Structure 1
Amino acid sequence: MARSTTGTTPVPTPALAGPTSLPDRRSRLVRPAARGRVAVIALAAALVTAVLAGRYAGDTRAGRTDRSLADLVDVQHGAARLLAQAFAALGGPLPVAVALLVLAPLAWVLRGGRGLGLVLAGPPTAMVTTSLVLKPLVERTRGGELAFPSGHTTSVASLAVTCGVLVLGLTAVPRAVRLLAVAGLAGLVVAVCAGLVVRGYHYPTDTLGALGVAVAVVLGVALAVDAWADVVADPGPDPRAFDPGERPTDVLPRASEG
């Protein structure tokens, strides 16, 4: 509050604008009421990837599911094939690196340390899981290259899921706008998957397995970041609430209530 120049009547001081004034900066990535559902979704996604990995381990050919899905996006030539190549290229190292560099500071501004932690841990963990763990373990190949899960799909999908988590938590933004943004991200991921299949880089089930990795890892990291941040942010019982004259057996119940 400030005093007016003509008297002593308090004059409201305008609030300073800045990152700390954003209502969602200190909020959890996942609402406590939604944590159970998010955990179930992450486990279901991991199960899908595990089932596909077991089915196609060591395989080199397209399965029945692959052939059925590939028929839906069968494009042999023309502008559609060029567009497919453009979408497929979005999962390359350079576009992914640029996306991470842009997303990290944006997540810090909008969602604080939790958002930054999700960006720095979520997509990279998903990419490492695909490239260094699952691909050598499953050993499914196409054209002599390890194919399951799709690394390009994992990169794009993990970034999209991360953006979705960040956007859905922006309560200051209208819900319809947030859902529209998530739908756009989902459409982008589908386009990348289709592009990879059209160009013959991956079987459809390679992209499905990658989607499972991205969803499971990023949502799992979001829950872990929230849990860790809650522990760090909890100051514990207030020492001033204890009376030195009380016995320990009298103090403990009061500490647990706080």
Structure 2
Amino acid sequence: MTGWSAPAVSPPSLRARLGLIAALAALVVVALGVLYADDSRPGIVDARILTASDGTGGPWRSFALATDFLGEPVGAATLIAVVVTGCLLLRHPRAAVLVVVGAGLSVGTATLLKSLVGRTIHGGNLSYPSGHTAFATALALVMALLATGRLGLGRTAGTSLVLAAALVAGAVMGWAQVSLGAHYPTDVLGGWCTALAVVPVAAWLVDRTADRLLSRTAEAVREGHH
């Protein structure tokens, strides 16, 4: 059980800020969902971004396709397996659980929202929010939280690392989705915010469950000695 007593995946010093970020992100997800419900065209912001972009060709398209693959079932499963293995080798089972739970809940939430919002692209493909972006962002958030705990980063440094990791991962996957024509830019923003809303809550739940498990185990050991 010593692994479960590893540093919390939701560092206490970051919980208040992460909770605020999650709440704000959830508001953005809902607002965009209401704005683009049952829509099938790019919004004003989408159109401007798409007009400003020159498209993707040559090696950049290959990179976009490779990035997109990491969000597909086979690629995502492989990526999760690698990260979970790394967490277990570091003797941090809480992080390993959060990888699965955080990514799973983020993608699951995005999938549910797609059906509720009903925004489509290319005729009938549900697009809001981007599940690929939610997955990539969620995975980056988990790894950033793990690094924050292991390095003992303070509130400011830890928050900066978490947000930077989420921004980079979300931006790269989001760029791939938009450049390949799979999503509108606002779909990507919705996917990014979905992960920001879900992962902090998932991390808190993992810690709470692990702490309860440790407490019950310790109590059982004490009773056994008596």
Alignment TM class, shorter chain as reference: 0.7 to 0.9
Task: Calculate percent identity across the aligned residue pairs.
Answer: 34
2:47 partner letter: R
**Corresponding residue number in structure 1 for 2:43:** 63
**Corresponding residue number in structure 2 for 1:134:** 113
Quote the Cα distance in structure 1 between the aligned partners of 2:43 and 2:106: 25
> Which protein shows a greater Rg?
1
CA RMSD of aligned residues (A): 3.1
Shift of 1:87: 2.3
- 8 Å CA contact retained: 1:45, 1:213: yes
Instruction: Summarize the Cα distance change of 1:163–1:226 in structure 2 as closer, same or farther, 3 Å threshold.
Output: same
**Corresponding residue number in structure 2 for 1:252:** none
Instruction: Summarize the Cα distance change of 1:211–1:76 in structure 2 as closer, same or farther, 3 Å threshold.
Output: closer
2:114 partner letter: K
- 8 Å CA contact retained: 2:134, 2:170: no
**Corresponding residue number in structure 2 for 1:80:** 60
Shift of 1:185: 6.2
1:214 partner letter: A
1:221 partner letter: A
Instruction: Summarize the Cα distance change of 1:47–1:180 in structure 2 as closer, same or farther, 3 Å threshold.
Output: closer
Quote the Cα distance in structure 2 between the aligned partners of 1:216 and 1:137: 17
Shift of 1:55: 0.4
**Corresponding residue number in structure 1 for 2:173:** 192
Quote the Cα distance in structure 2 between the aligned partners of 1:71 and 1:37: 36
With normalisation by structure 1, the TM-score equals 0.73
Contiguous gaps of at least 5 residues in structure 2: none
**Corresponding residue number in structure 2 for 1:208:** 189
Instruction: Summarize the Cα distance change of 1:110–1:140 in structure 2 as closer, same or farther, 3 Å threshold.
Output: same
Which of the pair has the greater relative contact order for Cα pairs under 8 Å at 6+ separation? Answer: 2
Shift of 1:156: 1.5
Alignment of 1:164-183 (within 5 A): 164-171=144-151, 183=164
Contiguous gaps of at least 5 residues in structure 1: 1-19, 241-258
Shift of 1:33: 2.5
- Deviation digits for residues 157-197 of structure 1 (CA, Å, limit 9, x no counterpart): 22111112112211279x99x97797466424312211111
- Deviation digits for residues 27-48 of structure 1 (CA, Å, limit 9, x no counterpart): 1112223211111111111111
- Deviation digits for residues 57-92 of structure 1 (CA, Å, limit 9, x no counterpart): 000000011122324433253333333233223211
- 8 Å CA contact retained: 1:73, 1:194: no
Residue of 88, 94, 98 corresponding to 2:78: 98
Shift of 1:204: 0.4
- 8 Å CA contact retained: 1:168, 1:179: no
- 8 Å CA contact retained: 1:41, 1:216: yes
Q: Name the structure with the higher helix share.
A: 2
Mapped pair 1:115 → 2:106? no
Alignment of 1:12-31 (within 5 A): 26-31=6-11
**Corresponding residue number in structure 1 for 2:19:** 39
1:142 partner letter: I
- 8 Å CA contact retained: 2:11, 2:145: no
1:70 partner letter: L
Instruction: Summarize the Cα distance change of 1:226–1:181 in structure 2 as closer, same or farther, 3 Å threshold.
Output: closer
